[in-house]
Chains A and B, each alone.
Chain A
Amino acid sequence: MYQILKQILRTGIKSETPPQADEALRVDTQRLQQQILDAFGGALAIRQVDAGSCNGCELEIHAVNNAYYNIEGLGIKFVASPRHADLLLVTGPVSRHMEIALKRTYDATPEPKLVVAIGDCACNGGIFCSDDADENYATCGKVSNVIPVDVAVSGCPPTPTAILQGILTAISARK
């Protein structure tokens, strides 16, 4: 125990200031009222759904939980069930094999709910879809082809700061 405490003290506090919301990331017009968003802003529960990603975006979503970005310090946490969630964080091009699971996860999330699409593939199909078609035999392409999306964060993968910014944009009011 002494060694653990010593190491914690030696490490110190690493957390950095979170980014500001960015209106440019918003896809859909605000679907929720301000008072609901204010309530979300206090404590947000996120359900992450990998709908077909290469696992690159997941690495950065893990990183959002590390001491530098410290998402839990902002009152935002990842939960184990869509029924506990306010917001779905979805990666992928949506594979056809995940289409039903994603729709069911969306349906299982109680209203009011938000969806943030993470990564180039979730925004436009990415490298897994060709330039002339945003789908193929195995994928439905971008997330908004399957469920409504509020905010889309591009990047391959987007940085933890960009992911955090996307989440904060979703729960902030449209200026």
Chain B
Amino acid sequence: MPIKHPNLKLSRLTDTLPAWAGDIAADDLHAICRQVHDGGGRLVALWGSDVRSEGGGFVLHVVLINETGLVCLNVPLPAEHPHYPDISGIFPAASRMQRATYDLLGIYAQEGHDHRKWLRHGAWHSGSFPLRKDFDAAASRTHEADDYPFVQVEGQGVHEIPVGPVHAGIIEPGHFRFSIIGERVLRLEERLGYVHKGIEKRFERMSLQQGAKLAGRVSGDSTVAYAWAYAMAAESIARVTPSNNALWLRALLLERERVANHLGDLGYLGNDVALSFGFAQFWILKEQVLRNNAALFGHRYLMDAIVPGGVASHLSVEGKSIIEQECDMLEQQVRILRGIYDEHAGAQDRFIGTGCVEPRLAAQLGLCGLAGRASAQAWDARVQFACAPYDTLDVQMATYRNGDVAARVIVRFDELFESLRLQREILARLACDDAATAPLERLPANGFGIGMVEGWRGEVMVAIHTDAQGGLARVHPHDPSWQNWPLLEHAIIDNIVPDFPLINKSFNLSYTGQDL
């Protein structure tokens, strides 16, 4: 049991993950958050749901994590003036999640520091809330201009550079407001929400199977992580466990997704320091991985390969040897390229000391995932909460202390080699041509489940609430980018504007995953 509090009765959610859930009163939220924080724990996700049709009001859900596991706190709120105590003073990462929860559901954090809108721009008006069950889309439409009060930096010689939402490269849209003196950045303020597509509302009318496809498209570069987290949440509600072989295959796919993304990022990090050789080389390697994915699993990015209950593909004997050869080839090639990156004075000069996030700040603000590990935050769900099959794989976590671009490059290299090792281990234990899978048809009524998977970017969590008929009442996908975007604002301080693309790429955070 990860948390002890006299008013909190926890029940175990699933055997797959060490995850518990319990109801608490809003008045006890602070004390419990403080207890988890002081014990070295973190905030994973925060969202809300509308249960007025079942005779209640609203419910705030807060997922916290410490070294013993995950706890989902459910805080019932009244239907009129639904409010709860602000927890961003304890977990700064809560701030944007609280603001987004207000924009979408109209439940608000009292006494918060920042009550500006976050995900709402001008698509619906301020008095309407899309995730309320009685939301009327047509009546809520507005064309009012998006008026957002950025924080202004004043002083002699200070000026602003507004960038975006349409960026200069092939990147997702978002707005960055730089306040600078000369080339030095004094402050960066992010404004996201441009790719808000109404994903959470869309889930509500979907079947379990359609929902799996949508979960795999919350952030296309992490489709395996999302599809697995969604499947894990569904399986925990249905109390089923997929076959061992399905789990092995899922882990193989997840590591392949990690390898493909790390290869791509390492190429772009070279490109951003004018080493276009790096881009050319790493993207040749990435393309070979993608082509093998298409040939073996039917999709270059492995979309729809994981379904609730199991997997929608299998691996042939020839497929196994293709992946083994690919691992050997990558191992050899990436070693050569790492040597070149390490020895390249121009690249290292740009990498080292740039975009630094000190471990102390990373811990205070809750930096997680790959970027967190590059700032000495030793969290990796494959290690601490190793669910099958990772419990038998002994994953070696890659961590580094410097917290700069160079550290995020090193962690990517280390994780890439570890993923190749894991793929080989998995292949040794995976039974070929075994498509043993029992797809889940429906979920039990009034269930709640959580799935969490360490994607390449960090921990991806999906929570599912089912209604009285077993349909999807509420699905909340959570991207690690929620935690990490605010740290980018700190990483750029005192750096020069031309280094921003490099620093941004070294984090490579998801816009769509946080805009939903």
Contact = CB atoms under 8 A, between A and B. Distances in A.
Contact of A65 (B135, B165, B283): B283
- Tell which of B221, B283, B301, B343 has the most Cβ of chain A within 10 Å: B283
A157 B220 contact: yes
Contacts of B309: none
A127 B284 contact: no
A127 B165 contact: no
A97 B196 contact: yes
Contact of B217 (A49, A56, A98): A56
- Chain B contact patch, size range: 35 or more
B337 A127 contact: no
A54 B173 CA distance: 11
Contacts of A130: 202, 205
Contacts of B510: 55
Interface stretch (A4-12, A20-28, A144-152): A4-12
Contacts of B137: 136-137
A59 B301 contact: yes
A29 interface: no
B336 A3 contact: yes
Contacts of A54: 217-220, 512
B193 interface: yes
Interface in B242-283: 264, 277, 280-281, 283
A139 B197 contact: yes
Nearest to B124: A137
A80 B166 CA distance: 9
B90 interface: no
A93 B197 contact: yes
Given A11-B284, A67-B280, A138 B343 contact: no
Interface string B301-317: 10100000000000000
Nearest to A93: B197
B171 interface: yes
B283 A56 contact: no
B200 to A, nearest CB: 10
A55 B220 contact: yes
Nearest to A5: B277
A48 interface: yes
B166 A105 contact: yes
Contacts of B340: 3-4, 7
B195 A157 contact: no
B172 interface: yes
Given A63-B287, A68-B287, A159-B300, A138 B123 contact: yes
Interface in B274-299: 277, 280-281, 283-284, 286-287, 290
- Chain A contact patch, size range: 35 or more
B446 interface: no
Contacts of A105: 166
A97 B220 contact: no
B221 to A, nearest CB: 6
A62 B214 CA distance: 23
B512 A53 contact: yes
Interface string A43-80: 00000111111111111111101111000000000101
Contact of B195 (A61, A92, A156, A159): A92
A65 B337 CA distance: 20
Nearest to B299: A156
Given A55-B172, A93-B197, A3 B343 contact: yes
Contacts of B197: 52, 93, 95, 128, 138-139
A40 B300 CA distance: 31
A58 B195 contact: no
B170 to A, nearest CB: 5
B155 interface: no
Contact of A128 (B123, B198, B287, B300): B198
Nearest to A129: B202
Nearest to A3: B340
B83 interface: no
- Tell which of B124, B166, B286, B340 has the most Cβ of chain A within 10 Å: B166
Nearest to B174: A50
Given A95-B195, A95-B196, A127-B214, A58 B166 contact: no
B220 A3 contact: no
Contacts of A34: none
A175 B470 CA distance: 54
A95 B283 CA distance: 30
Contacts of B194: 52, 95, 97-98, 101
Interface string B110-141: 00000000000111100000100001010011
A145 to B, nearest CB: 14
A98 to B, nearest CB: 5
A48 B166 CA distance: 9
B58 to A, nearest CB: 19
Given A55-B512, A159-B300, 15 more contacts: A7-B277, A14-B284, A48-B170, A50-B173, A52-B197, A53-B512, A54-B512, A78-B169, A96-B123, A97-B194, A127-B202, A127-B214, A130-B205, A139-B197, A156-B303
20 contacts: A4-B277, A50-B170, A53-B220, A55-B219, A56-B223, A59-B301, A66-B284, A66-B287, A67-B280, A78-B169, A93-B197, A96-B121, A97-B195, A98-B195, A101-B165, A127-B213, A128-B197, A128-B198, A137-B130, A137-B198
Q: Which 9 A-B pairs have the closest CB atoms?
A: A56-B220, A138-B198, A96-B123, A80-B168, A66-B283, A137-B137, A54-B220, A97-B121, A54-B217
Interface of B: 121-124, 130, 135, 137, 140-141, 146, 165-166, 168-173, 193-199, 201-202, 205, 210, 213-214, 217-221, 223, 264, 277, 280-281, 283-284, 286-287, 290, 300-301, 303, 336-337, 339-340, 343, 510-512, 515
Interface of A: 3-4, 7-8, 11, 14, 48-63, 65-68, 78, 80-82, 92-93, 95-98, 101, 105, 127-128, 130, 136-139, 156-157, 159
